[in-house]
Amino acid sequence: MNDTFLKACRGEKVDYTPVWIMRQAGRYLAEYRAVRGKADFLTMCKTPELAAEVTIQPIDILNVDAAILFSDILIPCEAMGQGLDFHEGKGPILGPPIRDEDTVKKLFVPDPEESMGFVMDAIRLLRKALSNRVPLIGFAGAPFTTATYMIEGGTSKGFLHTKRMIYENPALYKSFMDKVTATITEYLKAQVAAGAQAVQIFDTWGGIFSPADFRMHALSYVQQIIKDLKEWMQKRGETVPVIYFVGSTAGLLEEIKTSGADVFGVDWRINIDDAAKRLGGDVVVQGNLDPLSLFLPKDKIEENVKDVLSRASSARGHIFNLGHGVVPETPRDNVIALVEMVHRLSKK
């Protein structure tokens, strides 16, 4: 088994820097688009065979060191009782938006196997299909990032409704977040029980806060999840690493280091050596190439890869990744080349 990724997560010595890519199962691959042509996005998420198929594609095509379950961070929102739909080119629509006591009250904390069993089925299917070629990463949205979609009713530019709830009605926000946090905790446990070998918590929008507000309104819920998950794992004798990824982290690193995570995802807006230093130095970092720098010619991509590898060598461990998901327009060849470069240039 290629366990380089898991070793790196634990801060152990590795022969080369492992690499996977956020949204590696995505539209930049013709093979993905072929599957997507047969089923809409949500159907793909809910059909374990299709989800497993596109999860495995980048393992074969890119030679990455980990698979990440194909799914969406908004799956638990539907399970909590909110309507969820994806419109082509428009992004997700969630309804009704959660903005008052009534809508919060109607939400429930679902049993993940009952209401999101298709995710766990996909994990079980994938563990068999991968038969230990590479580890499988499960994931969930962090409570705050998940909540923004539920409050705004979809994507947002300014997060006005979310921040209004937080600032105008903090008690309502807290009662809502307690439900979201409980849901995501149980969801991650179910993923680990089904066979996920690492989990990543995505806090894509965590960076819209001041440090104090981030700590109080986003991080505190992630800390709860990680603590709860780790205690639960300890009882079961499991040591599945937890990766915490926050977007626009540069002002928040001193907060993020208290999350309890094993690995810290870093976006491209800061040098990864500075990030590692501010996270405490002796940490495992994941990142952090600008996804759009994959439009550079290959020799320039290689310069950037060298730079990230060299900077990240100051940390205890490094998992190479982009600083955010790969975009659909990305030249597939450059993504394949990226993985090859990371492996070649980091070889000990």
Q: Using CB under 8 A as the criterion, which residues of the chain lie in contact with a second copy when the complex forms?
A: 157-160, 163-164, 167-168, 207-213, 248, 250-252, 268-271, 274, 290, 292-293, 295-296, 300, 307, 327, 329
Q: How far apart are CA 209 and CA 266, in angstroms?
A: 16
72 among known catalytic residues: yes
99 among known catalytic residues: no
Catalytic residue among 32, 99, 127, 149: 149
133 among known catalytic residues: no
> What's the min distance (Å) between Cβ of 261 and a second copy?
20
Question: By C-alpha distance, which of 212, 214, 150, 202 is closest to 179?
Answer: 150
> What's the min distance (Å) between Cβ of 24 and a second copy?
18
CA 300 to chain CA mean position, Å: 27
Compare residues 12 and 329 and give the one whose CB is closer to a second copy.
329
> What's the min distance (Å) between Cβ of 295 and a second copy?
4
| SS3 state at 244 | strand
Compare residues 238 and 274 and give the one whose CB is closer to a second copy.
274
Between the alpha carbon of residue 161 and those of residues 45, 58, 104, the distances in Å are 28, 37, 14
23 among known catalytic residues: yes
- Token pair belonging to 238: 């499991």
| SS3 state at 95 | strand
Catalytic residue among 3, 65, 72, 273: 72
Compare residues 157 and 347 and give the one whose CB is closer to a second copy.
157
Residues 6 or more apart whose Cβ sits within 8 Å of residue 333? none
344 among known catalytic residues: no
Catalytic residue among 10, 16, 27, 316: 27
Compare residues 38 and 164 and give the one whose CB is closer to a second copy.
164
Between the alpha carbon of residue 85 and those of residues 77, 82, 210, 329, the distances in Å are 11, 10, 31, 23
> What's the min distance (Å) between Cβ of 281 and a second copy?
18
Amino acid at 307: D
> What's the min distance (Å) between Cβ of 304 and a second copy?
8
- Strand ordering across the sheet containing 67-68: 67-68, 136-141, 198-203, 242-246, 263-265, 284-289, 317-322
Compare residues 185 and 334 and give the one whose CB is closer to a second copy.
334
Q: Sign of torsion, CA 217 218 222 223?
A: negative
Q: How far apart are CA 69 and CA 67, in angstroms?
A: 7
Catalytic residue among 10, 36, 269, 332: 36
Catalytic residues: 23, 27, 36, 72, 149
